[in-house]
Structure 1
Amino acid sequence: MILIPKNYYIIVSAILALLFTSSCTSKKEVVYFQNAKDFETIVDTDTFAPKFKVNDIVSVFVSTFDLEAVAPFNLTRGGNSNNPEFIDYLIDVDGNIDYPVLGKVKLQGLTVSEAQALFKKKLEDGYLRNPIVNIRILNFRISVLGEVRRPGRYEVSGERITILEALSLAGDLNIKGKRENVLVIRDFNGTKTYTRVDLRNKELFNSPVYYLTQNDIVYVEPNNSAISSASGDTRIGTIISISSFLITTALIFVTRN
């Protein structure tokens, strides 16, 4: 009868347990806002508003009581007269749109409310009386990539969205997402900025990228568990190889003794 030393079982069990648990994720790595205290209150004083960028597509609609006077400012591209399709405007490399009657109007760097005030001033200067100006950013989209449940590009209907809302659209991070190092890539007129945030820390709410701007990219890195599982077959093969080696070594040892 072959007797295997008792210590051998202990060694094998310890090695196998180490291999199988090395990629486990702890609660500390996945819980959001860990340093937020019970009943803690944070007053939101943020007045963030998105600003127009080069290559933005915007709609501008002007209205007054005098429909005939306002017609030259609201050009259409034809279609049904009861439901006309109004022309959109592209902000060029110089930050301008070419608007009917008014000509070049610089929008780059302005918020929507600032652009509305600028248009109203120009229109009241000899063209219209008490005009109402409605301006919207039409290409407000954000992309969420990496370790989320539904990566993709998402349209934003309002004028702003938070990084938490963007992640919600993408189905939240999966268990393999790295919560402490989420990257936001922002392009402002050809200059890219890279900002990392920690979703586990309540200071996220004070981050300059808490509110996203149009065409921001949110990237969630894989954690160590994801990287390990990406080569899962190799890991399993390694476990089998090590186990076989240990068993073979033990049998040789027993046979010789």
Structure 2
Amino acid sequence: MKSSYFNMLCWVTMILCFSSCVSRKDTTYFYEPDELEVPALIAMEQPAKSFITIQPNDELTITVSAIEQEAALPFNPPVVGASNVSNGAVSVGGTPQLQTYLVDSNGNIEFPVLGTIYVRGLTRVALAEKLKGMIAAYVTNPIVNVKLSNFQVSVLGAVQRPGTYTISNEYLTIPKALGLAGDMQIYGRRDNVLVMREENGKVTKAYLDLTDNSVIDSEYYYLKQNDVLYVELNDSQRQAGSLNPNSGLFISVASVLISLVVLFVR
């Protein structure tokens, strides 16, 4: 009996050891095999950037300037600061901010002097050129700068700091987004990362393998505004989460009972 009990413990120990092993491929981004002759230098082509296009509910910051700045003033919204109310009096202070233009559900903005302008589907550069052409009828050699003010992505799941992040640069890759969230936790699945994207009233989903170099060829490698990046738990962590929280106690009690049985029957 004692021998069989010892053998059982050996088998359980071996199973636990083998089940805890994780391959390098499962925990490495852009995996390359160890047998490469020159692993220090790996050339990968730069993927084509997915240009951000303006969509409904986007907020745009648009500034117009010219050599004669006074001529451009009517095309710029007033600069506002934070308002405070104290003893019934309203004061304006804080850091001045430019007002933004909200793209309505039809894809339009209301612009000073020019009125309603359709902007949906345009890139930031294309909109700047469009406005420049329209404003040229009033201002000599205008300079138009367009910025997307509410470019946000959400990074959720098995990352260090899940949350929604506002981006100042419109070119955001998946690795950079993970970096903002403190990178993946060790038990996150790198071979099945989900990107959810809403465009033209439809939500699309893409599952990407970040251990594969070819992931940079995906149209989802560069994220767009309001994308959701979700990192799934690996199988072992998902199974652990489904266990009864008292499982550890039950196993401990069972171990004690088995030990007592072995002592009495020896």
Q: 1:28 to 1:243 in 2, by over 3 A?
A: farther
Q: Deviations over 1:207-228 (max 9, x none)?
A: 1111111111111011123224
Which is worse superposed, 214-223 or 231-240?
231-240
Residue 115 (structure 1) shift: 0.8
- Partner-residue secondary structure (3-state), 1:243: helix
Gaps of 5+ in 2: 82-91
Q: Is the 8 A contact 2:49 2:222 kept in 1?
A: no
Number of aligned positions between the proteins: 249
- Partner-residue secondary structure (3-state), 2:6: helix
Output aligned runs, 1:234-249, within 5 Å: 234-237=246-249, 239-240=251-252, 243-244=255-256, 246-247=258-259
Q: Deviations over 1:113-158 (max 9, x none)?
A: 111111111112x212211000000001111111011111111111
Q: Is the 8 A contact 1:187 1:216 kept in 2?
A: yes
1:7 is aligned to: 4
- Partner-residue secondary structure (3-state), 1:98: strand
Output aligned runs, 1:152-167, within 5 Å: 152-167=163-178
- Within the alignment, does 1:208 sit opposite 2:210 as a pair? no
2:19 is aligned to: 22
2:140 is aligned to: 129
What TM-score, normalized to structure 1?
A: 0.86
Residue 248 (structure 1) shift: 5.9
Output aligned runs, 1:64-79, within 5 Å: 64-76=66-78, 78=80
Q: Is the 8 A contact 1:54 1:189 kept in 2?
A: no
Task: Tell me, in whole angstroms, the C-alpha distance in 2 between the residues paired with 1:19 and 1:244.
Answer: 19
Q: 1:150 to 1:47 in 2, by over 3 A?
A: closer
Q: If each structure's strand is expressed as a fraction of its own residues, which one has the higher value?
A: 2
- Within the alignment, does 1:224 sit opposite 2:221 as a pair? no
- Within the alignment, does 1:178 sit opposite 2:175 as a pair? no
Task: Tell me, in whole angstroms, the C-alpha distance in 1 between the residues paired with 2:47 and 2:27.
Answer: 28
What value does the CA root-mean-square deviation take over the aligned residues?
A: 2.6
2:98 is aligned to: 86
What TM-score, normalized to structure 2?
A: 0.83
Q: Is the 8 A contact 1:179 1:199 kept in 2?
A: yes
Gaps of 5+ in 1: none
Amino acid at match of 2:157: G
Q: Is the 8 A contact 1:23 1:228 kept in 2?
A: no
Amino acid at match of 2:251: I
Paired-residue identity, %: 36
- Partner-residue secondary structure (3-state), 1:145: strand
- Partner-residue secondary structure (3-state), 2:160: coil
2:61 is aligned to: 59
